[in-house]
Amino acid sequence: MDQETLGSIVLLAIVTLISVVQNAFFASKVEQESKNCNSKGFQRSGSSAFDRVYTANQNCGHTYPTFLAMLWCAGLLCSQAPAAFAGLMYLFVRQKYFVGYLGERTQSTPGYLFGKRIILFLFLMSVAGILNYYLICFFGSDFEMHIKTITSAISPLLLIP
């Protein structure tokens, strides 16, 4: 792979690897709580603490493919840096959701809502990249620099709760 191609995906790859480590952390929490409840190893039923950890892990796992698809589509079709920033924010929010779910379930709601907003941002970046591609094909107009400028300016707004 040449340096230019690698440079255009390296941030996305870093965020993806961080998300894999986060998934391993979530899985280890489920395993640890299972062992605390039952000394015989992993079992799906147990205490309410285990149920919360297991459910939080399952909820995070259900949204993970959507996150990865949106991260890579937004980064490849639109702009890598804002997509990677949004991806890091999503991982932070997912951590907040997971930890919040272990307490009272109402503590996880802000993380859930914030995560939906980040996924929407990544989706809109992807759509903008696709629209720009077709504008180039059909009309010869390239708005790539404008789109990158707008997404770079908007991505810090994701920090606002």
Domain tally, the chain: 1
Look up the CATH number of the domain holding residue 118.
1.20.120.550
Query: What average pLDDT does this structure show over 69-87?
Result: 95
Query: What average pLDDT does this structure show over 26-43?
Result: 77
Burial letters for 100-110: b for 16+ Cβ neighbours within 10 Å, e otherwise? bbbeeeeebee
Tell me which residue range forms the domain holding 142.
Answer: 3-158
Percent of the chain with pLDDT over 70: 92
Query: What DSSP line would sit under 142-160, residue for residue?
Result: --HHHHHHHHHHHGGGGG-
SS3 for 60?
Answer: helix
Give whole-number Cα distances, 25 to 17, 19, 43, 137, in Å: 13, 10, 18, 44
What would the pLDDT profile of 79-106 be if each residue is shown by its tens digit? 999 999 999 999 999 998 898 888 766 6
